[in-house]
Chain A
C-alpha cells in the first residue's frame, strides 16, 4: 500500500485548481487537501489525528475550516480543494469549534505530553476547567469493560475523564490511555496502513470507546509483534517507550539535552533509517523519519528496540554477555558524521551503517518472521 505523501510518485501532472483562502486567491494542484494548500502558503492549522503517512480518519476535528455554502465545517486535513471554493480558516465559527474540540480534549484527557497542546489551548482561549474538576481516575479495567449503551447518570460534581492507570504489561513500551485522544493513528499503523498485524482496534462506543486488544488481553497475549510503529505515530505520548516513560517518571528525561542521530539499521538487508535519540551518552529511543520512502517511519522490533548491545560495554556497568566490546561513543561518532536531525541535515540519502554491525546479536536476516514494518 502506498501511503499518501509517499516520496516516489509517478503520475501525470495534475491540473491546477484556483480557490480563495482567507480572501487570497490561491492555486494548487488538483487533489491537494485544504490543509496542504494552506501549508504551502505558510499558514498552519492545528492537527491531531492527521499524519502524512496515514489515511486520514477525520476524527479529531481540530483542523476544521469554514467552506462557504457548506452547512457544517469541513476537516481541512482530508477535504480536497475544488475550483472556486471559498475557505475561511480563522472565522469565528472555526475558532469556536477548534476551541470546543481542544476544551473537550483537555478536560477529559491528560494532554501533558501532547506537543503544541498548551500553545493551542492558549491561542484559542480555552478554559477546560469550566466543565468542573476532573473526575478521579477509573480503577484498572473499568473502562476496558464498559458495555455499549446505558451508562450511570453523571456525577454533577465532576467532569468525566478517561483517566486510568497506565498499562505496563511488557518491557518495551507502556500504554497510558489516560492520555489517549482516540485519534486512530496507532490502529492504522498496526493494521491496514503498515504493520498488517491488527493487534489493536477501537472497542466500545461513544465516550467509552478505547483502544484495545481482543478482550483487552495484555500485549504479550495479543498479536503484537512490538514493532513500535504505533508509538511512532501516537501524537499524545499515550504510547511511550519504557525507556522514555521511566526517565520521565524519574525526572531525568530532558529533550534539551538530547541529540538525534541518523544511522542505518544493521540487522537486515532492508537497511531502514534509524534516528537514535541520545541523551547523556545513552540511546533513549529510536524512531525513523516519516519522509524516508524505505520506512515511512516504520521499523521492526529489532531496529526499534534492539539497541541495548550498543551500550553494553565494559566499565559502564551494563551487561556484556561476556563478549568484550570496543568502547565507543556513539553520539560523538555520529555527530562527527554530521548527521544530527536536530540540526536539520538531510538524512534520507544514506548508504550504510555508520557504526560497526552488532557484534553478535541479530545477524542480518535473523528475522522472527513477524511483520517487517514496511509497506
Chain B
C-alpha cells in the first residue's frame, strides 16, 4: 500500500497533540521532518513500524478530539502518516464513534441523557426546559459545515444512557483543551445544565453518593465500595487486597482454573458462559501471546454496576486481572472502558500506576516469574463495542463491527490470538474465589447460579443504586430492598435485563433472579438491570427511546439490523402517533415479522435482541391492546 494523502496539513498544535499520544515521530517515514542527510543513507524499517501501531489509531484520534473538540482533515491526515493508515479507513473509524466529531464543534459539549432510566425521572421535561432556555441541541450533519462554530462557545446534545441511572437525570460535560476535563454528574436540573453550559464548573466538585448497602458485612463484590479510599493501595491491602494473588501463586495456573471451575462462575456480561471453561481453553492454546481483556464498555441502558465497582474499588480489578492473566498465560491485558466514565478511568489509571510502582505489575509480579502489563483503552461512544469481537476491532484500530463467529475469541481473538474477554463483575468475583475456594463460592446462590449478583435498581424506586444479593433473590425482594415505588404509587411494569431485556408484569414479581429462573420465565438477567416503571411514566415514549437506541447503535454491517431497526422504529412511531398503515393488528404483525427477521438473521446480539423489550411490551404487558379493541384510537 502506498498512502496517498490529501493536501490538508496539520497545524503545529495538532501535531503536538498527536505526538503527545504517539511519541515523537522517529523519521520522515512516520511523519517527521525529512532530514536529507540521514534519509538518503539509512533505512529504518519505515512504514512497518507505523503499521504495527495501528491499534493506536483510536487513542490518537481521541487525543485530537480531546485537545480541539473535533478532528480536522489535517489532523486526521497527520495521524494517518504517523500510523500508516489509509485516510479513508481512518475517516471510517472516526465517523463510527459518537464521541468523535469530524465537523467543527465548540470545545465545551454537554451530553444530556434522554434515555429510559432518566425518562423515568423527568429527563424529558428537563430537556424541554433546557431547550427553551439554551436553544436547540447541536445539529449534526452537513449544516454544521456552514454554521460558523465558535470554538470557545458551548453546545449541548442528547445522549444515550450515561451509566449514571442511579442518579438520574444525568449528564456529562466534556471540555476539550490543553487540560481536557470530562465530568459525569447526576441529579441535575435544567437551570443547572444551563449554568454548566455557560461556564459554571461547580459540578466538577460534586461529591459522589455512597453505594446503598455500603459497609454491610455480607457484601463480597461491593465490600470496599464507599468504605475504603479508592486511591490507596495500602487501604486495599489491609482489606484482604492481594491475598487472592498470593494464594494464586501457591495454587499454580492450573490450580486457579480448577477453583474457578469448581466455583461454577458464569459470565456476568450477558451470555452466562462458564468462566473457568473460557480460561482453560485459552490456557491450553500453544499459540502465543495470549491476551486478556476486561470488558468495561457497560453501555446497556440502565446499567451502572461495573462503574460502581471500578470507581469504588479499582485495585480489585487490577488484582483480579493479574490472577486471570497468571491462570491463562497472558502477558498483556486491556481494560476497555466506555469513554463516558471519566472518574472510573482516572481511578483505574491511578491504581495501575500504583500497582506498577509497587511491583504488582510489570516484569516480575510480586517477585514471581510472571510478567504482566495492563493498559486502559477508552471507548468512543459506541454500545456495539461491548460485543467482544467488535471490541477487538475497536482496540486494533478498525471500525467496531462485530466479527462472524466462528472463530471464537479463545481461538482467534484480539490480533487473531487466543483471548479471554470477561465482564468487570465476572472478574471481581475472582479474588474471593481464589482466596476462599471455589466450593465456598458455589455454596452461595442456587445450584445453577452460584455466588452473588449485582443488580442495577433504577427508574421508579425509592433508593436507586447497585445492590449485591445472592442469586435466587426474587424480583419483589429486590424492589423492596430498593425502597419500592415511591409514594406508594402502583407499579406498571419492570424492565429486567436492560434495553435488550424484557418487560415483566407486576404479577410476575416472584420470579427468582437466577439464570435458570429468568430463562424459565422467558426473561433474561441481561446486564442486571431492574428498572421499575410506575403509572406516571409513559411506556410508549420508553419503547420509542429503546427503538431509537438500537437504530443509533447498530453498527450498520448487516441488513437485518441496519434496516430492521429503522423499520421497527418507524412502525412504533406510526402506532403511537396514530398514523398507522392499516389496523393495529397489521402493524403489530409487521413488527413481529421485522423482529423475527432481526433475531434470526442478524450477525450479533445487538440485532438479535433489538426487538426483545418491544416484543415483551406487546405480548406480556399487552401495551397496545386497548388500541386494538374495536373503536379504539387505532384506525387512521
Residues on A close to B: CB < 8 A?
Answer: 56-62, 64, 72-73, 75, 78, 93, 96-97, 99-101, 104-105, 107-108, 130-132, 141-142, 144-151, 153-154, 156-157, 159-160, 181-182, 191, 196-209, 212-215, 217, 221-223, 370-371
Contact = CB atoms under 8 A, between A and B. Distances in A.
Nearest to A56: B404
A200 B95 contact: no
B554 A207 contact: yes
B585 to A, nearest CB: 14
B574 A72 contact: no
B101 interface: yes
A69 B599 CA distance: 15
Contacts of A198: 1, 86, 88-89
B1 to A, nearest CB: 5
B181 interface: no
B593 A182 contact: no
Interface stretch (B340-348, B359-367, B559-567): B559-567
Contact of B556 (A96, A100, A150, A204): A204
B89 A145 contact: no
B570 A132 contact: yes
Nearest to B399: A202
Nearest to B137: A150
Contact of A147 (B101, B558, B599): B101
Interface of B: 1-4, 6, 73, 76-77, 86-92, 95-98, 101-103, 140-142, 144-145, 157-160, 381-382, 399, 404, 544, 548, 551-560, 562-567, 569-570, 573-574, 577, 579, 581, 590, 593-594, 596-603, 608
Given A148-B382, A214-B73, A72 B602 contact: yes
A148 to B, nearest CB: 5
Nearest 9 pairs between A and B by C-beta? A100-B597, A209-B556, A198-B86, A149-B98, A104-B563, A147-B140, A214-B87, A145-B142, A201-B92
Given A61-B601, A215-B102, A191 B86 contact: yes
Q: Which of A97, A157, A197 has the most CB of B within 10 A?
A: A97
Contact of A196 (B1, B90, B145, B157): B1
B601 A97 contact: yes
Given A64-B601, A132-B570, A145-B103, A209 B562 contact: yes
Nearest to A64: B601
B491 to A, nearest CB: 28
Nearest to A146: B141
A238 to B, nearest CB: 15
Contact of A203 (B91, B159, B557, B596): B91
Contacts, number: 226
Contacts of A75: 404
Contacts of A64: 600-601
A149 B92 contact: no
Nearest to B557: A59
B581 A206 contact: no
Given A150-B157, A214-B76, A214-B91, 18 more contacts: A64-B600, A72-B602, A101-B597, A104-B560, A104-B563, A132-B581, A141-B142, A142-B142, A145-B140, A148-B381, A150-B159, A150-B552, A156-B574, A202-B556, A205-B96, A205-B98, A207-B554, A209-B562
Nearest to A98: B601
Contacts of A154: 566, 569-570, 573
Nearest to B80: A214
Q: Which of B101, B556, B560 has the most CB of A within 10 A?
A: B556
Given A100-B601, A145-B142, A223-B87, A197 B95 contact: no
Contact of A61 (B87, B144, B554, B602): B602
5 contacts: A61-B558, A72-B608, A197-B1, A212-B95, A223-B3
Contact of B601 (A101, A153, A203): A101
Contact of A201 (B3, B91, B158, B574): B91
Contacts of B598: 100
A101 B553 CA distance: 19
Contacts of A100: 560, 564, 593-594, 596-598, 601
Contacts of B557: 57, 59, 182, 209
B157 A148 contact: no
Given A59-B557, A59-B559, A212-B92, A145 B73 contact: no
Contact of A156 (B97, B577, B596, B602): B577
B565 to A, nearest CB: 7
Contacts of B603: 58-59, 61
B596 A96 contact: yes
Contacts of A202: 92, 399, 556
Contacts of B4: 197, 199, 222-223
A190 to B, nearest CB: 9
